[in-house]
């Protein structure tokens, strides 16, 4: 057995890639990376059981980049993804990891984007193509994409491709690739049809699976909070404001993020320090010492740096960035509830990370309770309660004679009532940290099942300002549509869901009941569909036949049902409430 891989330097990656990883701030390979990168570099096929959030993109992108011949301007790697969003995301990740590879070109290709743009890029020459199966097939059939120079094929989220009805397409595409190419297949689960594809196309694949830890973590109260990446800092501030915490350990994924977040918290008035692997041992020990002896309350750490950390006063662990695997999660939250105490763990989850959340729950066999962010009003109330308490504490504990005289002087000299003086002084006290709390987290509105139109238009029309789609946001009623494809055309529920979800950008969970008849089908889709999505869907093909959809009720597009009025469907606003304010022990720079 070779040594376990703990550092990127142990992987046979070039200096320029190592430099990039350092700049991005990755501290150590995630488990899937440590296991997969050496196998791919050695030329093995890989069957990897991993989901989003485990770092699997870098697990295949780094070996692909390592093995590229930049002088050869034709596709050397093809990545198939179930959705256009993932295709774009993976292409962006490639671009990021290739920042020190001049002349590197990656092209995302997906349905809904204009063919001519894709053709222009393909003609100019690209090294890596990331695409959805339908569009890749289109290009292969038209012979506008050549796979002759292909060395690696990656199937990303294969189980999603299966669920969306693309598995036959994937099978067909794999059949078009040169026989000596390498294949990496990633899937969160391994249902039989995926095993069959693997069996047909992979040669002696090495299986990589991320171990799931089931360690018990019963003394920790686990909660999660759904928050998009752009609002995490504000969300963290809100949490720090109202949680009754002693010391807080916040986990992020990179060294850069640790330093940055500590600085940003400092700037917001929460003294904090970073703890990561690039710091000297002396500095790390000093930080831990400060945490232990109550001179520091907030530490922002990476997984590696916090390994084995044992500080009894850590009452809260906040997973600011979701961990890569369940084992890391269990380790992280084990940093609280030390020495028989209770502890709190709060996890920030972006909507696309919900699967990782479920995986954690499954592995730890414990539900993680959803928490609402405290509202601005609740935080303001909390701050006021704190202030009132401080006032009464000071009255009870301090000798205020000098100050009472001063107030009397002001009262006399300026003829101001004591109440007005107190009000002015209160204003001064909160000037640097106003009682009235405000941040940028928008009021929570119910999400539209129809993604923003901007994403749905062909790229060539994207420059136009997006229309307001807000009016659809609260409307979840369904309309039944007729599609002109049925059994005789080979339509299945999967390929209908796949085509609609992928081509029209409607999340599959909002695609309702599908009935397939001999020469047509019906499907329930959210009411309030924007016209351009409707027009686009008419042309979308399943098994080469256009859907040609129309409303089953015979109404024209946009026409209202003459039925009684719907119950008012006002937008939902966040109605989170917090418990009665408690005295937060976290020190914050006081006014």
Which stretch in 46-54, 110-118, 284-292, 556-564 sits in contact with ligand AMP by CB under 6 A? 46-54
Q: Which member of 45, 49, 56, 274 binds ligand AMP (CB under 6 A)?
A: 56
Nearer to ligand AMP, 6 or 420 (CB): 6
Nearer to ligand AMP, 58 or 441 (CB): 58
Cα–Cα distance list, 401 to 394, 395, 410 (Å) = 12, 11, 14
Which stretch in 23-31, 64-72, 424-432, 498-506 sits in contact with ligand AMP by CB under 6 A? 23-31
**Contact between 113 and ligand AMP per CB under 6 A:** no
**Contact between 253 and ligand AMP per CB under 6 A:** yes
**Contact between 226 and ligand AMP per CB under 6 A:** no
Distance between CA atoms of residues 378 and 410, nearest Å: 35
Nearer to ligand AMP, 37 or 150 (CB): 37
Residues whose CB is less than 8 angstroms from the CB of residue 380 and which lie 6 or more positions away in sequence, other chains included = 435, 436, 437
Given its phi and psi angles, is residue 141 left (phi above 0), alpha (psi -120 to 50 degrees) or beta?
A: alpha
The minimum distance between CB 420 and ligand AMP, in angstroms, equals: 54
**Contact between 224 and ligand AMP per CB under 6 A:** no
Q: How many residues bind ligand AMP (CB under 6 A)?
A: 14
The minimum distance between CB 253 and ligand AMP, in angstroms, equals: 4
* Cα angle for residues 135, 168, 54 (degrees, 5° grid): 75
Query: What are the beta bridge partners of residue 545?
Result: 542
**Contact between 83 and ligand AMP per CB under 6 A:** no
- Residue carrying structure tokens 């405290």: 374
**Contact between 57 and ligand AMP per CB under 6 A:** yes
CA gyration radius, the chain: 28
CB atoms within 10 A of CB 380: 16
Nearer to ligand AMP, 231 or 292 (CB): 231
* Cα angle for residues 331, 335, 339 (degrees, 5° grid): 125
Q: Exposed e or buried b for every residue in 337-350, given b needs 16+ CB within 10 A?
A: bbeeeebbbbbbbb
Q: For the chain, what is the largest distance between any 2 Cα atoms, rounded to a whole number of angstroms?
A: 96
Nearest CA to 174 out of 144, 207, 196, 142 is that of: 196
Mapped to the 3 state alphabet, what secondary structure does 74-108 carry? CCCEEEECCCHHHHHHHHHHHHHHCCCCCCCCEEE
Which stretch in 53-61, 196-204, 430-438, 465-473 sits in contact with ligand AMP by CB under 6 A? 53-61
**Contact between 46 and ligand AMP per CB under 6 A:** no
Nearer to ligand AMP, 33 or 386 (CB): 33
**Contact between 60 and ligand AMP per CB under 6 A:** no
What is the per-residue binding string for ligand AMP in 1-20, x denoting contact by CB under 6 A?
--------------------
The minimum distance between CB 336 and ligand AMP, in angstroms, equals: 22
The minimum distance between CB 54 and ligand AMP, in angstroms, equals: 5
Distance between CA atoms of residues 170 and 154, nearest Å: 11
- Residue carrying structure tokens 């990168």: 37
What is the per-residue binding string for ligand AMP in 170-199, x denoting contact by CB under 6 A?
------------------------------
Q: Which member of 17, 26, 45, 136 binds ligand AMP (CB under 6 A)?
A: 26
Which stretch in 51-59, 338-346, 454-462, 509-517 sits in contact with ligand AMP by CB under 6 A? 51-59
Nearer to ligand AMP, 220 or 257 (CB): 257
Nearer to ligand AMP, 98 or 496 (CB): 98
Residues whose CB is less than 8 angstroms from the CB of residue 390 and which lie 6 or more positions away in sequence, other chains included = none
Token pair for 254: 């990179």
Which stretch in 54-62, 178-186, 272-280, 437-445 sits in contact with ligand AMP by CB under 6 A? 54-62
The minimum distance between CB 213 and ligand AMP, in angstroms, equals: 18
The minimum distance between CB 57 and ligand AMP, in angstroms, equals: 3
Distance between CA atoms of residues 481 and 546, nearest Å: 14
Nearest CA to 65 out of 11, 5, 128 is that of: 128
Distance between CA atoms of residues 374 and 209, nearest Å: 38
Which stretch in 48-56, 74-82, 426-434, 451-459 sits in contact with ligand AMP by CB under 6 A? 48-56
Distance between CA atoms of residues 483 and 470, nearest Å: 27
**Contact between 31 and ligand AMP per CB under 6 A:** no
**Contact between 38 and ligand AMP per CB under 6 A:** no
Distance between CA atoms of residues 45 and 26, nearest Å: 25
Nearest CA to 186 out of 166, 164, 206, 215 is that of: 206
Q: Which member of 53, 343, 498, 530 binds ligand AMP (CB under 6 A)?
A: 53
**Contact between 54 and ligand AMP per CB under 6 A:** yes
Distance between CA atoms of residues 2 and 529, nearest Å: 57
Looking at the chain, how many residues does it have? 591
Nearer to ligand AMP, 138 or 156 (CB): 156
Task: Judge contact between 456 and 505, C-beta under 8 A.
Answer: yes
Q: Which member of 31, 38, 55, 82 binds ligand AMP (CB under 6 A)?
A: 55
- 22: DSSP letter: H
Nearer to ligand AMP, 323 or 581 (CB): 323
Torsion of CA 326, 328, 331, 334, to 10 degrees: -60
Q: Which member of 17, 58, 162, 317 binds ligand AMP (CB under 6 A)?
A: 58
**Contact between 29 and ligand AMP per CB under 6 A:** yes
**Contact between 52 and ligand AMP per CB under 6 A:** yes
Distance between CA atoms of residues 228 and 235, nearest Å: 9
**Contact between 84 and ligand AMP per CB under 6 A:** no
Nearer to ligand AMP, 27 or 243 (CB): 27
- Binding residues (CB under 6 A) for ligand AMP: these are 26-27, 29-30, 33, 52-58, 253-254
């Amino acid at each position: 057995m070779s040594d376990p891989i703990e550092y990127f330097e142990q992987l046979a990656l070039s200096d320029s890639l190592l430099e990039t990883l350092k700049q991005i701030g990755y501290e150590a390979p995630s488990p899937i990376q440590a296991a997969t990168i050496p196998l791919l570099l050695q030329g093995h096929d890989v069957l990897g059981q991993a989901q989003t959030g485990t770092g699997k993109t870098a697990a295949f992108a780094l070996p692909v980049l390592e093995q590229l011949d930049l002088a050869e301007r034709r596709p050397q790697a093809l990545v198939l993804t179930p959705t256009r969003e993932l295709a774009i995301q993976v292409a962006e990740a490639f671009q990021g990891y290739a920042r020190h590879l001049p002349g590197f070109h990656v092209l995302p290709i997906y349905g809904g984007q204009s063919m001519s743009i894709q053709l222009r890029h393909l003609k100019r020459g690209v090294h890596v193509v990331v695409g959805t199966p339908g569009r890749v097939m289109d290009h292969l059939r038209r012979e506008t994409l050549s796979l002759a120079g292909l060395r690696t094929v990656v199937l990303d989220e294969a189980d999603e491709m299966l669920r969306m009805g693309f598995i036959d397409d994937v099978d067909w595409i794999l059949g078009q690739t040169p026989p000596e190419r390498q294949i990496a297949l990633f899937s969160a689960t391994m249902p039989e049809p995926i095993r069959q594809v693997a069996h047909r196309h992979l040669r002696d694949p090495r299986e990589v699976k991320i171990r799931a830890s089931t360690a018990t973590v019963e003394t920790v109260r686990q909660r999660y909070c759904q928050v998009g990446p752009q609002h995490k800092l504000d969300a963290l501030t809100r949490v720090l404001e109202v949680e009754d915490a002693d010391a807080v350990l916040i986990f992020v994924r990179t060294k850069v993020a640790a330093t940055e977040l500590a600085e940003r918290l400092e700037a917001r008035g929460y003294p904090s320090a970073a703890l990561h692997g690039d710091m000297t041992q002396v500095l790390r020990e000093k930080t831990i010492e400060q945490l232990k002896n109550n001179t520091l309350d907030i530490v922002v750490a990476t997984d590696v740096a916090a390994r084995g950390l044992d500080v009894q006063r850590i009452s809260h662990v906040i997973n600011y960035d979701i961990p890569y695997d369940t084992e890391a999660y269990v380790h992280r939250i084990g940093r609280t509830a030390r020495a028989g105490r209770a502890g709190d763990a709060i996890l920030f989850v972006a909507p696309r990370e919900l699967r990782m959340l479920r995986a954690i729950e499954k592995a730890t066999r414990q539900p993680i309770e959803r928490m609402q962010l405290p509202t601005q009003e609740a935080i303001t109330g909390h701050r006021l309660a704190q202030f009132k308490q401080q006032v009464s504490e000071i009255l009870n504990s301090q000798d205020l004679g000098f100050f009472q005289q001063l107030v009397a002087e002001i009262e006399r000299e300026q003829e101001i009532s004591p109440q007005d003086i107190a009000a002015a002084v209160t204003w001064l006290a909160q000037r640097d940290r106003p009682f009235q709390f405000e941040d940028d987290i928008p009021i929570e509105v119910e999400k539209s099942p129809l993604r923003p139109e901007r994403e749905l238009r062909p790229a060539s029309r994207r420059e136009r300002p997006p229309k307001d789609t807000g009016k659809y946001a609260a409307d979840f009623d369904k309309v039944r549509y007729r599609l002109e494809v049925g059994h005789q055309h080979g339509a299945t529920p999967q390929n209908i869901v796949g085509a609609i979800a992928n081509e029209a950008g409607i999340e599959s969970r909002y695609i309702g009941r599908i009935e397939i008849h001999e020469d047509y089908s019906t499907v329930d889709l959210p009411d309030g569909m924007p016209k351009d999505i409707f027009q686009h869907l008419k042309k979308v093909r399943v098994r080469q036949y256009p859907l040609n959809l129309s409303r089953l009720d015979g109404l024209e597009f946009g026409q209202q049902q003459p039925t009684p009025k719907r119950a008012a469907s006002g937008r939902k606003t966040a109605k989170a409430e917090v418990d009665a304010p408690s005295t937060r022990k976290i020190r914050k720079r006081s006014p």
